[in-house]
Amino acid sequence: MYHDRRNFIKKSSLALASSGAAFLFPIELLATLRKKVGPNDTINVGLIGCNGMGFSDLTSMLKISEVNVIALCDVDENVLKSRTSDLDKAGIKKPKWYKDYRKLLENKDIDVVVIGTPDHWHCLQLTDALQAGKDVYCEKPIANSIQEANIMLNYVGASDRIVQIGQWQRSQPHFVDAINYVHSGKLGEIRLAKAWAYQGWMSPVPIIPDAPVPQGVDYDMWLGPASKRAFNKNRFHFSFRWFWDYAGGLMTDWGVHLIDYALYGMKAGMPKSVMALGGKFAYPDDASETPDTLQTVFEYEGFSILWEHATGIDGGNYGRNHGIAFIGNNGTLVLDRSGWEVIAENEFKGWGKEPGKRMESIPIQQNEGSGLDLHTVNFIEAVKSRDTSLLNAPIKVGYDAALVSHMGNVAFKSGDRIYWDETTGKFKQESANEFLKATYHNGWKLPRV
């Protein structure tokens, strides 16, 4: 493995990582970016879950010449064929295929595992990868329940492996600059932080009948620890996000990104209480389960954090379909993936008089570079140095964002204002604690702490 090699490199082509957004990156261009690297300097990667963000993560890592993909794992052979074809266009030879991630983890040549599977798989795959001695880049949210998140935090804490969570905004320069400004105190006392995701592109999930399992798909392996159900296309691939068996809807899908930055800006941990209102208001009769409209309030000492999401409309706060706003006495900083700005608060001078400004407004500071590329660079640098302190999104960052997001879903499911007990790590209402647990099926067992 790379960390045993005598001639391990300290220099790399990491500067290339800022070239273009990995999400839209033409795979053919990889061949022009990659330089020849000796086998002793190579970091071998295996990807588990190749259909969505997992492959974007891999593509981003492959802009780093030292990274070499030698294994792909997916339950859908059609995806394996498609992704192998994509890699071939970049001049990358066919990786070994797996349908069972456990077999991939047995491959001693793999140094790093990328986990891009649905949320309900993350806990098992991360803990198994750590036990197999692999470093891990794991997509967000880290888990599909608070119980799983606790297990994952403990496993990583007891391991010497490098684990980065895919909350790539932590590496995006303009996000970091915005938080530094929030922490400067110039906004004055901040009473409220808002985070929101208004998703106009999201249309109803049509009700369709169950169907035979598509050819080439290991559906039992896709279900894994989730409830046994007949195959339905709605629950497969991308749209799994809108079903409780596998994920937590927009609350966890976008929430972990945006609530993470609300927590970061406010230097906040777990809330004192949570309450949530919402439901299926946009598409009440479609096939999805998770709420398409939700408002969640997280209570802290001296301030609140408000989460909002809505599908089918783009008209979010401050004219943005997503973002975070820090509302201070002097002004409001508004931040999204395109940039950030400060809107000064008016200073009341008396009725009929022209108001002044409590601070200087700041025009939009534009996004520069690819946060995902910078995030994978950050991960590989930590892998090479064996220094977890370098990580921009270590497990604790993913853990805090996941817990707070899941708390929002628990409040929604319970229908109550629920109070968190920091000492016990549970809610004070036993009825809410039932929603903290993970229930595994089909012979799969929850990892032991």
- Give the architecture-level CATH label for domain 2-170+372-394: 3-Layer(aba) Sandwich (3.40)
Q: Is 90 helix (H, G, I), strand (E, B) or coil?
A: coil
Domain boundaries, the chain: 2-170+372-394, 172-368+400-436
Residue 21's pLDDT band, with cuts at 50, 70 and 90, is very low
Q: How far apart are CA 75 and CA 215, in angstroms?
A: 11
| pLDDT above 50 for 15 | no
Query: Is pTM beyond 0.95 here?
Result: no
| pLDDT above 90 for 3 | no
pLDDT tens-digit readout, 408-443? 999 999 999 999 999 999 999 999 999 999 999 999
pLDDT tens-digit readout, 341-356? 999 999 887 787 778 8
Q: How far apart are CA 198 and CA 378, in angstroms?
A: 30
* Preceding peptide of 141 cis, ω within 30°: yes
Q: How far apart are CA 225 and CA 213, in angstroms?
A: 18
pLDDT tens-digit readout, 34-83? 888 888 889 999 999 999 999 999 999 999 999 999 999 999 999 999 99
Q: How far apart are CA 102 and CA 64, in angstroms?
A: 26
Q: Tell me 407's DSSP state.
A: H
Strands 43-48 and 67-73: parallel
pLDDT tens-digit readout, 253-302? 999 999 999 999 999 999 999 999 999 999 999 999 999 999 999 999 99
Rounded to the nearest angstrom, the gap between the alpha carbon of residue 46 and the centroid of all alpha carbons in its chain is 19
> What pLDDT score does 27 carry?
87
Q: How far apart are CA 307 and CA 262, in angstroms?
A: 10
Are 298 and 305 in contact by the 8 Å Cβ rule? The answer is: yes
Q: Is 372 helix (H, G, I), strand (E, B) or coil?
A: helix
Helix axes 146-157, 395-414, angle to 10 degrees: 170
Of 224, 276, 272, 212, which is closest to residue 249 (Cα–Cα)?
276
CA atoms within 13 A on the CB side of 448: 0
pLDDT tens-digit readout, 87-107? 999 999 999 999 999 999 999
Q: How far apart are CA 291 and CA 347, in angstroms?
A: 40
pLDDT tens-digit readout, 189-239? 999 999 999 999 999 999 999 999 999 999 999 999 999 999 999 999 999
| pLDDT above 90 for 14 | no
Give me the count of residues in the chain: 449
Rounded to the nearest angstrom, the gap between the alpha carbon of residue 237 and the centroid of all alpha carbons in its chain is 17
Determine how many CB atoms are found less than 10 A away from the CB of residue 158. 10
CA atoms within 13 A on the CB side of 55: 19
Superfamily holding 172-368+400-436: Dihydrodipicolinate Reductase; domain 2 (3.30.360.10)
Q: What mean pLDDT do residues 313-337 have?
A: 97
Of 133, 142, 134, which is closest to residue 165 (Cα–Cα)?
142
Under 8 Å CB-to-CB from 80, ≥6 apart: which residues?
50, 72, 74, 97
Q: How far apart are CA 168 and CA 375, in angstroms?
A: 5
Q: Is 32 helix (H, G, I), strand (E, B) or coil?
A: helix
| pLDDT above 90 for 25 | no
Residue 24's pLDDT band, with cuts at 50, 70 and 90, is low
> What pLDDT score does 11 carry?
39
Q: How far apart are CA 148 and CA 171, in angstroms?
A: 25
Are 27 and 87 in contact by the 8 Å Cβ rule? The answer is: yes
Of 259, 308, 248, 266, which is closest to residue 119 (Cα–Cα)?
248
Q: Give me the DSSP letters along 229-249.
A: ----GGGSGGGGGGSTTT--T
Question: What φ, ψ does residue 268 adopt, rounded to 5°?
Answer: -105, 150
Q: In terms of C-beta density within 10 A (0-12 exposed, 13-18 middle, 19 or more buried), how is residue 243 classed?
A: buried
Which parts of 329-423 are beta strand (E)? 331-336, 339-344, 346-347, 356-357, 362-366, 418-421
Q: How far apart are CA 43 and CA 65, in angstroms?
A: 9
Q: Tell me 290's DSSP state.
A: S
> What pLDDT score does 23 carry?
60
